[in-house]
Amino acid sequence: MKKISDSTISRLSTYYRTLSNLIDQGIETVSSDEIAEINNITSAQVRKDLSFFGSFGKRGLGYNTKALREEIAKILGLKKEWNIALVGVGNIGRALIDYEEFRKQGFIIKALFDKDRKKIGKEIKGLRINDIDDACYVTKEKNIEIAIIAVPAKNAQAVVDSLVACGIRAFLNFAPITIKVPSNVTVKNENMSIELEALSYYLTQSN
Amino acid sequence: MKKISDSTISRLSTYYRTLSNLIDQGIETVSSDEIAEINNITSAQVRKDLSFFGSFGKRGLGYNTKALREEIAKILGLKKEWNIALVGVGNIGRALIDYEEFRKQGFIIKALFDKDRKKIGKEIKGLRINDIDDACYVTKEKNIEIAIIAVPAKNAQAVVDSLVACGIRAFLNFAPITIKVPSNVTVKNENMSIELEALSYYLTQSN
């Protein structure tokens, strides 16, 4: 399979949501033009993105919404549940524990970590807060595959290093720094300013 | 100016961060190849994105990091501070009040809203929590330009409708639903599952 760009992957996530919404509305077929219009991109882009994975649609007939969503789910690895560790039980961490979209998409927070002695041993939503020093033991026991990093910037690299040493290969990083990892490990950064900057752009251009 | 795609705008935000990091490290020039490598995209993409705005770099000499960051800041509207209203002071809302990246990029939360009688009138970080019913008065008084929606999905459309009626034209939406707005209003959705889905994809493809 060809190497697929990050922006294609991100658009596939968007198409997945679009299809889920259409299915919820009882809509059975959709054209690339319609998917494009809902998401404010060109239909050529939609067709190009989907062409990476072979041909799902029939010319002139559009795509079957359920079949296409199923294919995208397979590609994105959404046909299984993923066990997630959340590191850092501050404000962002607590918000993420409550974030229902994660569970809906099959991302299940199974372990919490912090290094604050006052938090360790307490429970949130039935999950015990573990000492980050026990990371290897707990991540193995709970079969953790992805870690969410919600610690202060100054601690983030050290936390990731220790989890990489435990065998974790995928990180979602909320700390505003660039994390260095070996080439077989993937870090995605969640920077909530980026969408605000897009709004700032639109307001600036339209004034 | 040509219509620029959302993904170009989002990459400009990424380049802005890359340049800030390079400047912090004392680096004065950078090539499109280097910007591309840091961000795991092609240098052709970098050059194409920057070409929308004219020519900043000199062939063979690369870009001056400070000058390029300045140009991108102008394009994205980051040369001014933006006054933000945050609607919904639950877990996500509280996390966003503490999110230092917003302030760093010039997005200043100036007004808080909720509809919970127990919260209204209280203060968080020196900001009073206002009744959402007073939205028009408060947003005008505080010169609010962008609203962040951190309310439950079932309330999000109504909240946005009332703020649109007050003249707010830009929204960052954390609620997991599609918000309908008039064509002169922009909504960006913050869906934190999307980056997790990219990780799920990478783990699936590499297994």
Residue B205 lies in a domain: no
The residue to which tokens 């959340």 are assigned: A86
Residue of B97, B103, B124, B195 best to disrupt the A interface, most CBs of A under 10 A: B195
Do A65 and A111 belong to one domain?
A: no
Do A70 and A24 form a contact (C-beta atoms < 8 A)?
no
Q: Is B143 on the interface with A (CB under 8 A)?
A: no
Do A87 and A177 belong to one domain?
A: yes
Q: Is A196 on the interface with B (CB under 8 A)?
A: yes
Residue of A195, A205, A206 best to disrupt the B interface, most CBs of B under 10 A: A195
Q: Is A23 on the interface with B (CB under 8 A)?
A: no
Checking if the pLDDT of A65 tops 90, the result is yes
CB contact under 8 A, B197 and A76: yes
Determine the distance in angstroms separating the CA of A75 from the nearest CA of chain B, rounded to an integer: 7
A5 or B92, which is more confident?
A: B92
Checking if the pLDDT of A141 tops 90, the result is yes
Residue B22 lies in a domain: yes
CB neighbour class for B194 (10 Å; exposed up to 12, middle 13-18, buried from 19):
buried
Q: Directed axis angle between helix A43-51 and helix A32-39, to 10°?
A: 120
Q: Which of residues 64-103 of A touch B (CB under 8 A)?
A: 75-78, 82, 84, 90-92, 94-96, 98-102
pLDDT at residue number B207:
66
Do B154 and B189 belong to one domain?
A: yes
B15-23 LR contacts (CB < 8 Å, sep 24+): B15/B39, B15/B46, B15/B49, B15/B50, B15/B68, B15/B72, B16/A197, B16/B69, B16/B72, B16/B73, B16/B76, B16/B78, B17/A191, B19/B65, B19/B66, B19/B68, B19/B69, B19/B72, B20/B69, B21/A178, B22/B65, B23/B65, B23/B66, B23/B69
Q: What is the 3-state secondary structure (H, E, C) of chain B?
A: CCCCCHHHHHHHHHHHHHHHHHHHCCCCEECHHHHHHHHCCCHHHHHHHHHCCCCCCECCCEEEHHHHHHHHHHHHCCCCCEEEEEECCCHHHHHHHCCHHHHHCCEEEEEEEECCCCCCCCEECCEEEEEHHHHHHHHHHCCCCEEEECCCHHHHHHHHHHHHHCCCCEEEECCCCCCCCCCCCEEEECCCHHHHHHHHHHHHHHC
Do B130 and B36 belong to one domain?
A: no
Do A36 and A91 belong to one domain?
A: no
Do A12 and A75 form a contact (C-beta atoms < 8 A)?
yes
Determine the distance in angstroms separating the CA of B183 from the nearest CA of chain A, rounded to an integer: 12
Q: Which two tokens stand for residue B84?
A: 């933000």
pLDDT at residue number A104:
87
Out of B49, B75, B101, a domain closes at B75
Q: ipTM value of the model?
A: 0.88
A56 or B109, which is more confident?
A: B109
| Torsion A6-A190-A184-B41 (CA) sign | positive
Do A17 and A105 belong to one domain?
A: no
For B20-32, b/e burial (b = at least 16 CB within 10 A) is bebeeeeeebbbb
When divided into structural domains, chain A yields a total of: 2
Cα–Cα distance between B186 and A201 in angstroms, integer? 11
Of A6, A170, A196, the CB nearest to B107: A196
Q: How confident is the model at residue A40 (pLDDT cuts 50, 70, 90)?
A: confident
What is the pTM assigned to this prediction? 0.82
Host domain of residue A143: 82-193
User: What single DSSP character describes residue A89?
Assistant: -
Do A186 and A105 belong to one domain?
A: yes
Q: What is the CATH number of the domain that holds B29?
A: 1.10.10.10
Q: Which residues contact A191 (CB under 8 A, 6 or more apart)?
A: A176, B13, B17, B101
Q: How would you write the pLDDT of chain B (207 residues) with one tens digit per residue? A: 556 777 888 889 989 989 998 998 999 999 989 998 887 778 888 988 888 766 655 666 788 999 999 999 999 999 999 999 999 999 889 989 988 889 988 999 999 999 999 999 999 999 999 999 999 999 999 999 999 999 998 899 999 999 999 999 999 999 878 788 998 999 998 888 888 998 999 998 886
Q: Which residues contact B195 (CB under 8 A, 6 or more apart)?
A: A172, A188, A189, A190
Residue B202 lies in a domain: no
Cα–Cα distance between B187 and B149 in angstroms, integer? 10
User: What single DSSP character describes residue A93?
Assistant: H
Do B60 and B97 belong to one domain?
A: no
pLDDT at residue number B37:
84
Of A11, A172, A200, the CB nearest to B199: A172
Do B112 and B56 belong to one domain?
A: no
* pLDDT tens for each residue of B68-109: 999 999 999 999 999 999 999 998 899 899 888 899 889 999
Do B178 and B90 belong to one domain?
A: yes
Do A53 and A75 form a contact (C-beta atoms < 8 A)?
yes
Do B11 and A10 form a contact (C-beta atoms < 8 A)?
no
pLDDT at residue number A120:
97
Of A5, A95, A192, the CB nearest to B101: A192
Residue A1 lies in a domain: no
CB contact under 8 A, A172 and B191: no
Residue B201 lies in a domain: no
Do A148 and A87 belong to one domain?
A: yes
Residue B100, phi then psi, degrees to nearest 5: -65, -25
Q: What is the CATH number of the domain that holds A146?
A: 3.40.50.720
Interstrand relation of A170-173 and B146-149 (parallel, antiparallel or unpaired): unpaired
The rounded mean pLDDT for chain A is: 90
Chain B residues with CB inside 8 Å of A199's CB? 146, 170-172, 186, 188
CB contact under 8 A, A196 and B172: yes
